Amino acid sequence: MPRSMVSRTTAATAVNTAIFSALILGPSRVITGSWDWPRGWLAVGVFVVQTVLGALFFLITNPSLVGERTSARVQSRTDGRATLLIVLLLAGWFVVAASDIHLGPVLPALPKAMSLSLGLGLHLVGLALVVWTFRVNSFAATVVKIQREQRVIDTGPYAIVRHPMYLGAIFWLAGLAVVLESTAAAVATLPIVVLGFLPRMRIEEATLRRDLPGYADYQSRVGARILPGVF
């Protein structure tokens, strides 16, 4: 395995962990003036474990995917705007969660034991969906483009929805919100992900429909983008 790939993966893992930690703990620190938030630190710990294990797993099983996900790519202006929308809405989601928890809940939180078990369960379901998606689709990339020898993927989760990774993101974030004890943030996850990722999904699908043979037929066979039978 190339040492450069390991270095890029290590750097990407460190950066992602730092960003996630800032998004979780930063708003809480601003609101309360304290770093004392056990559920927030638990969320950071869970993220570190899954990120490190995920990086090791894909380095061993699919290094080409890791190389694709950690390489710097130039986005088109349209793709860049869609990505910016996702970033802004997700950052807002973390602020909503911290505000709901520390300034008074909009909706009642679940009992502590239930919030922990149910939240971790939903979170891990989302993580499993994302991992499954990457395992099935080695062409997954951070930039919308057609790669050499790319083909239509219609097996695994792609037989159910056209964007299974985004479905995984809904479970992942909703579970995280429940772990953090914010029912309001959990409820807000679905519209935020749908609205935030919709421009990106449209760009992806327009590109694939235009440049990838067979994708238009796949769209006609699998009608749902991320919610089976709904959307």
| Cα–Cα distance, 215 to 208 (Å, whole number) | 6
Contact 197, 190 (CB under 8 A): no
Cα 97 to chain center, whole Å? Answer: 17
Q: Residue 3: what pLDDT?
A: 73
Closest CA to 30 of 89, 102, 87: 102
d(CA 21, CA 98): 13
Show Cβ contacts of residue 170 under 8 Å, excluding neighbours closer than 6 positions: 126, 189, 190, 193, 226
108 secondary structure, DSSP code: P
Rg (CA), the chain: 18
How many C-beta atoms surround the C-beta of residue 117 within 10 A?
Answer: 14
The pLDDT of residue 72 is: 55
Per-residue pLDDT at 73: 62
Q: 192-218 b/e with 16+ CB inside 10 Å = b?
A: bbbebbbbbbebbbebbeeebeebeeb
Q: What is the pLDDT along the chain (231 residues), one digit of tens a residue?
A: 567 778 888 998 999 999 999 999 999 999 999 999 999 999 999 999 999 999 999 888 888 777 666 665 656 788 889 999 999 999 999 999 999 999 989 999 999 999 999 999 999 999 999 999 999 987 776 666 677 678 899 999 999 999 999 999 999 999 999 999 999 999 999 999 999 999 999 999 999 999 999 999 999 999 999 999 899
pLDDT at 69: 67
Fold adopted by 3-221:
Four Helix Bundle (Hemerythrin (Met), subunit A) (1.20.120)
What residues does each domain of the chain span? 3-221
